Every structure is written in C-alpha cells, then in structure tokens.
Amino acid sequence: MKVLLPLALVATLGAIATPAAHADDNNWVVRFGVHAVAPKDNPGSLAGAQSSISSSTRPTASLEYLFTPNWGLDLLAAWPFQHDVKLAGLGKVAQTKELPPTLGINYHFMPDSVWSPFVGVGVNYTNFFDTKSAGALKGASVSIANSWGVAARVGFDLRITDRWLATADVRWINIDSDVKVNGTRVGKAAVDPIAFGLSLGYRF
C-alpha cells in the first residue's frame, strides 16, 4: 500500500493533465538552479542515541508543463545530495547520498503578471545510496531505506522577458527511512527536509 498510493497519485495527475493540454505555444518551462536541503533538527533516535543529519546544496533542474495558464505539472531532478549522519556523543557515524525526484502539480495565481506566486503539492521518491560507515561505526554495514512521501511547495516566478524568468521556491518533503546496521534495524530517520531553491527558467 505504501508504494501503490504514490503510484496512484502520479497516475491521477497524468490523467488530469492529458485531456487539459492545449495547443498554445510556450507551454513548457525548463529551470536550472540550486537547492539547499536542510533536514529537520530532530530526525529521531538511532540505537538509542539522538541523531542529526547535515544539510547539502546541489545543482537542480526541473521541467514544468503548463496544461492551462494556471495549472502546471512539474518534475524536479537534482545532482545527488550528500549528508553526514551524526549521533550524540559519537559524532559522525555515516555518510550517504540521496536523489529525491519529485513530481507535483502547481497552481500559479497570476500567470500573466511580472510577479506570479504559486503553490504546489506532489509525491517524492528518495533513493539513498553509497552509504558508508564512519567513526564509531567504521567497518560496519549501514543502510538507509528508500522512501515515498508527499511534498509541498510554495514560491514565485519573476518574469525577466517573455521567455526568461527567475524562480524562488521552498519545498517541504516527507522522508521517513528505516536505518540498519549490519542488517539490524536501529531506528527510523524522519528526515523531512526543507529545500530552498533559486533557479533561472526558459519558457518554450
């Protein structure tokens, strides 16, 4: 059920977008920029010790299809983010990388204005990989489970020309992942990061 629910949401969004597509030009917006991912301060306890996860900033790209002037379907991709995992009293015990592709639907309040705010909601799949142990856990096998979760977004577009625009956004992503050491579950990391982004977009 945990996997079927987000898949159903993606299918529903696709079904909404397809019949609403229109023939006007410039329905696509491609954006390139950076996002800083800041996990929440208290992601939970692992093996009885309070954990913390470092922030990471990486290049990102997104593609949005505007199937009406107000509504758009957006896919976010990124260069892998890298995080240090620390435990209270032990310091850094692991390092991991993650890719968080996010598909969402956005509502643009004033699409014909120079300044156009928007809100969005969607689904995220976070893939953790290349997880390595360190410090007190050096030599142990550490794994972090992949995660499905909801995502929310708020931001604005600033029109530069008819084709070019600048975008600032803030995303909240629900990421909850089981953590295992040598195959034994030691807790759940409720990462739930806030992602702050700036990008330059081109409409075509």
- Residue ranges and CATH numbers for the domains of the chain are 33-76+84-96+109-203 (2.40.160.20)
Distance, CA of 179 to CA of 153 (rounded, Å): 27
Mean pLDDT value across residues 147-155 = 98
Under the banding of pLDDT at 50, 70 and 90, the label for residue 24 is: low
Q: Is the pLDDT of residue 2 over 50?
A: no
Burial class (CB in 10 A: 0-12, 13-18, 19+), 45: middle
pLDDT tens digits, 69-125: 999 999 999 999 999 999 999 999 999 999 999 999 999 999 999 999 999 999 999
Rg of the chain's alpha carbons, rounded to an integer? 19
> What is the percent of the chain where pLDDT is above 70?
88
Per-residue pLDDT at 112: 93
- Mean pLDDT (whole number) for 160-166: 97
Instruction: Report pLDDT digits (tens) over 29-62.
Output: 999 999 999 999 889 999 889 999 999 999 999 9
